[in-house]
Amino acid sequence: MADYHFVYKDVEGTSTQWEDIHRKLGNLPPKPAPHKPPAWTPAEDESEQVKNKEWMSNKNVEELEDLADDPDLDDDRFLEEYRKKRIQELTEKSRKARFGSVVPITGSDFIREVSQAPADVWVVVHLYKEGNQDCEMLGRCLDELATKYSGTKFVKIVATDCIKDYPDFNLPTLLVYNSTNVKATLVGLQHYGGRRCTPEEVAFKLVSIGPVLMGPNEEDTEVVTNRVRRDFLEKLVSRIEQHDADSDDE
């Protein structure tokens, strides 16, 4: 059965002679330009890409792990070694990003957050009591260090939540952990210059225990330790100069 509603459509962009004449006379608007589809370009084939260091640098950990079965990398020892190095770098960077502040924990968190921390992570535990001025003073120093050395894990826990009946006269106390072991127990503020303690003095004491402090980037621990010692000496010299100035005024 014929469709009497069919409308014939000419090729897009064509016009009749009558329309052309009227366009020349200005009675009709200019003829619209015919639609042209974008030029076809072949999709980039992953297999045809040049597999080099730059190509691999743009991939995430999951993509790098998937390349373990890539036959092209089996024949390229340099790329395979670089792939493993990039996985390690990205994993380390992701791990370090978890730190950067002093995290409060409870007694039930202690084993997971402290004792079972990865072997390459140093953990500084602050045993404190709310309202204790010495704890608050040390806490401010630790807040600054946690931000500066975000590769180190800083946590704090109410002392009696960690150790039952822990005496107030032992506060504040710092426990330094690494590889599931306690590396140091620092009781009181005397380890950091007493009630005049500064972040520089706390940092100096921590690096005397070992490579406790780690920066946000993969810096050499010796570089970090030397920087901490330099900052401590500068602070000490400044304090001595201030003391001498005060004495002269008196």
Tell me the C-alpha distance between 75 and 41, whole Å. 31
Rounded to whole angstroms, how far apart are CA atoms 201 and 233?
A: 9
pLDDT in tens, 102-130: 999 999 999 999 999 988 899 999 999 99
Residue 209 has pLDDT above 80, yes or no: yes
Across 222-233, average pLDDT: 86
**Mean pLDDT, rounded, of the chain:** 79
The ranges assigned to domains in the chain are 53-96, 102-244
Q: Looking at residue 24, what is its pLDDT?
A: 73
pLDDT tens digits for range 60-78: 666 766 666 665 655 566 6
Across residues 74-103, what is the average pLDDT?
70
pLDDT of residue 74: 53
> Quick one: CA torsion of 18, 20, 22, 28, rounded to 10 degrees?
120
Cα distances (angstroms) measured from residue 96 to each of 111, 112, 194, 224: 20, 17, 31, 16
Distance CA 79, CA 27 (A): 69
Residue 139 — very low, low, confident or very high, per pLDDT cuts 50/70/90? very high
On the question of pLDDT at 199 being above 90, the answer is: yes
Q: List the beta bridge partners of residue 226.
A: none
Cβ within 8 Å of residue 148, ≥6 positions away: 199, 215
Higher pLDDT, 38 or 203: 203
**Predicted local confidence at residue 45, as pLDDT:** 45
In angstroms, rounded to a whole number, what is the distance separating the alpha carbons of residues 20 and 238? 91
Residue of higher predicted confidence among 18 and 129 = 129
Whether the CA torsion 228, 136, 111, 109 is positive or negative: it is: negative
Residues 6 or more apart whose CB falls under 8 angstroms from that of 113 comprise 103, 105, 123, 153, 155
What separation in angstroms does the CA of 18 have from each of 14, 23, 29, 32, 63?
12, 9, 13, 16, 63
Render pLDDT for 186-196 as a digit per residue (tens, 0 to 9): 999 999 989 88
Residue 86: per-residue pLDDT: 75
Which of 13-22, 87-96, 241-250 bottoms out in mean pLDDT, i.e. has the lowest? Answer: 241-250
Model confidence pLDDT, tens digit, residues 169-182? 999 999 999 998 99
Residue 43 CB partners (closer than 8 Å, separation 6+): none
pTM of the model: 0.60
Give the Cα separation of 206 and 154 in Å (integer).
12
Q: Is 99 helix (H, G, I), strand (E, B) or coil?
A: coil
Which of 162, 147, 148, 172 lies closest to 113 in space, CA to CA?
162
Instruction: Return the pLDDT at 237.
Output: 82
Q: What's the confidence (pLDDT) of residue 123? A: 97
Q: Which fold would CATH assign to domain 102-244?
A: Glutaredoxin (3.40.30)
Taking only Cα atoms into account, the Rg of the chain, rounded to an integer number of angstroms, comes to: 34
Convert 90-125 to b/e letters by CB count within 10 Å (16 or more is b): eeeeeebeebbebeebeeeebeebbeebeeebbbbb
